[in-house]
Structure formats: structure tokens, C-alpha cells
């Protein structure tokens, strides 16, 4: 069902208030790795509004490699995130980690994110198949393109056709970068599926100085959008600061992404 052979026309998702994802528009989503505080959200939202970015990312449930790392503000953080975003016309993409969270998060998110560690959590995918909200599925840490498409098929075949695929880098033998951003996946996915494809250069390379160039490369490779990490003070971020852009870097990237998209 997610194949181009089944549906030729590209899927375009409408998040409301003029925010669309898919062919014909460049989707930009930015924000911190983790939602940390009201002040943090207000500063990033102001940055997004100033730069006409309509979607904010930020985790309230964080999958961390170490159990001792910051694990997010949970539902209280999400409710505040939702309230502040609504007041500013911003849409929310945030990670859902388990089936029991789908219902409680439902009214407070615009796009459910399935993280790389949950791409093959088939119970979670089944649960998201019966929800009337867009779902962004990230590629598994060691996942193939075919496995990503199969994960999408789970959600789609359950009845939820509002899907976005995200290339976020895979684990390879290379240790010089956090992951290996597989830009090959972009044209391959665009050929194989009618679903929108977006690129996450932050987790893809994991090194702040290179994030912007990889984002631009993602757009040139044919991505429908970019999702990246931004924070007022990346050095103080509760997670992923080393791959997070400050506002000056983020503003420059947004300008360049729009230029490059127009060239395509």
C-alpha cells in the first residue's frame, strides 16, 4: 500500500492552518532534542515564528542509551508544549515510545514520531494504524530501506494513511560520525513510495558543524523536508547538544534551505 505501484500520486498531508507536508512544499521542522522548560520552549518558538517555520520538534519521552540520562518531562511537558504551540500557530512533532502513550498523547500532538529504536515495535505501529493523526517513522538504527517501508506498511494497512518517512542515519562500521546519513535512501524511497520523505541531519551525522551542509545535501537529494535540532544554548541542552544548532546557525540554514529548494 505504501508503494508507488499502488498509488502513483504523491501523498500530501495537511496539518491544518496552511501547514502541508509532501511534494510541492519544503517542510521544515526544528527544535530541541528534549523539551526542558517553559522558557526554553518560548525562546525556540520565537525563533521559529521569526523564521516562518511552522513545525517544532522536541521530545517529552526520551529514549536514552543510559538510564541515568535526562529522560524527558513527560505528559506535563507535552501539555505545556501544546498550549504554547497553539498560541503561536506552531505544529508539534514528538516521540511516542509505547502503546499506552498513544491515547494520552493524542490530543496534544500534530505528528507522532516513532523513534529509530522503535521502528520495529510492531505493537506500537499497530496502535498508530488506528489513529487519525500523522505519524513520522524514523529509519531503524540498523534498519534497511525495505524494513522502513514494512514498518510504514504496518501503520498504513491498519488504516492510517498519514505517514512520513525519515532518514536519520544508520549504524555502519564508521566511527568518525555518530551515524552514517544515508542520502542514497532519499531518491530510492522517493521512487519506491508515494509517502513524503524527510531527512534528519542532526542524528544523521551528529556533529554540529556539519549538520547544515548535510541538511542542504538532503534537499538536493530530493527530500520533502528537513527536521533538525536547534536550541538557544546548545552547550546547555539536556540532550544531543553536540549536534544542535544555535539560533544564528539555524536562521542561516533556513535561508539556505529555501534557496536550495528553489533551485531544485
Q: Where do contacts with Mn ion occur on this chain (CB under 5 A)?
A: 33, 240
- Among Mn ion, ligand PEP, none, the one that 168 touches (CB under a kind-dependent 5 to 8 A) is ligand PEP
C-alpha to C-alpha distance for 68 and 64, rounded to whole angstroms: 8
Size of the site for ligand PEP (CB under 6 A): 9
**C-alpha torsion sign, points 128, 13, 171, 95:** negative
Closest alpha carbon to 113 in 158, 61, 150, 67:
61
- Helix residue ranges, H only, 11-98: 38-50, 74-87
Q: Three-state SS for 200?
A: coil
Does position 63 interact with ligand PEP (CB under 6 A)? The reply is yes
Tell me the closest approach of the beta carbon of residue 253 to Mn ion, in angstroms. Answer: 17
Q: Which of 47, 82, 91, 168 binds ligand PEP (CB under 6 A)?
A: 168
Residue with cell 534528519: 200
- Among Mn ion, ligand PEP, none, the one that 10 touches (CB under a kind-dependent 5 to 8 A) is none
Q: Which three cell numbers stand for residue 245?
A: 544548532
CB closer to Mn ion out of 110 and 229: 229
Does position 71 interact with ligand PEP (CB under 6 A)? The reply is no
Q: Which of 138, 162, 178, 194 binds ligand PEP (CB under 6 A)?
A: 138
CB closer to Mn ion out of 33 and 188: 33
CB closer to ligand PEP out of 33 and 41: 33
Candidates 13-21, 46-54, 68-76, 111-119 — which segment interacts with ligand PEP by CB under 6 A?
A: 111-119
Q: Which of 26, 29, 33, 149 binds ligand PEP (CB under 6 A)?
A: 33
C-alpha to C-alpha distance for 135 and 156, rounded to whole angstroms: 10
Mark 52-85 as b/e (b = at least 16 C-beta within 10 Å): ebbbbbbbbbbeeeeeeeebbbeeebbebbbebb
Binding to ligand PEP (CB under 6 A): which residues in 194-223? 203
Tell me the closest approach of the beta carbon of residue 96 to Mn ion, in angstroms. Answer: 15
C-alpha to C-alpha distance for 29 and 164, rounded to whole angstroms: 13
List residues binding ligand PEP (CB under 6 A).
33, 59, 63, 115-117, 138, 168, 203
Amino acid at each position: 500500500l505504501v508503494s508507488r505501484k499502488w498509488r502513483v500520486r504523491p501523498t500530501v498531508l495537511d496539518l491544518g492552518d496552511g501547514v502541508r507536508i509532501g511534494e510541492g512544499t519544503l517542510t521544515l521542522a526544528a527544535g530541541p532534542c528534549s523539551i526542558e522548560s517553559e522558557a526554553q520552549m518560548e525562546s525556540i518558538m520565537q525563533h521559529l515564528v521569526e523564521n516562518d517555520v511552522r513545525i517544532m520538534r522536541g521530545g517529552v519521552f526520551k529514549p536514552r542509551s543510559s538510564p541515568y540520562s535526562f529522560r524527558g518531562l513527560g505528559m506535563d511537558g507535552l501539555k505545556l508544549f501544546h498550549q504554547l504551540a497553539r498560541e503561536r500557530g506552531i505544529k508539534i512533532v514528538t516521540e511516542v515510545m509505547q502503546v499506552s502513550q498513544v491515547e494520552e498523547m493524542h490530543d496534544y500532538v500534530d505528528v507522532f514520531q516513532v523513534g529509530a529504536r522503535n521502528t520495529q515495535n510492531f505493537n506500537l505501529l499497530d496502535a498508530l494504524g488506528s489513529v487519525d493523526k500523522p505519524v513520522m517513522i524514523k529509519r531503524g538504527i540498523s534498519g534497511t530501506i525495505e524494513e522502513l517501508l514494512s514498518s510504514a506498511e504496518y501503520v498504513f494497512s491498519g488504516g492510517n494513511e498519514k505517514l512520513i518517512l525519515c532518514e536519520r542515519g544508520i549504524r555502519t562500521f564508521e566511527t568518525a560520525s555518530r551515524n552514517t546519513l544515508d542520502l542514497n535512501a532519499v531518491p530510492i524511497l522517493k521512487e519506491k513510495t508515494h509517502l513524503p520523505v524527510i531527512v534528519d541531519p542532526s542524528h544523521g551525522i551528529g556533529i554540529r558543524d556539519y549538520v547544515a551542509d548535510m541538511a542542504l545535501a538532503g534537499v538536493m537529494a530530493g527530500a520533502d523536508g528537513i527536521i533538525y535540532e536547534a536550541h538557544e544554548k546548545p552547550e546547555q541542552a539536556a540532550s544531543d547538544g553536540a549536534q544542535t544548532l544555535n539560533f544564528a546557525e539555524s536562521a542561516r540554514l533556513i535561508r539556505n534551505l529555501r534557496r536550495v529548494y528553489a533551485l531544485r
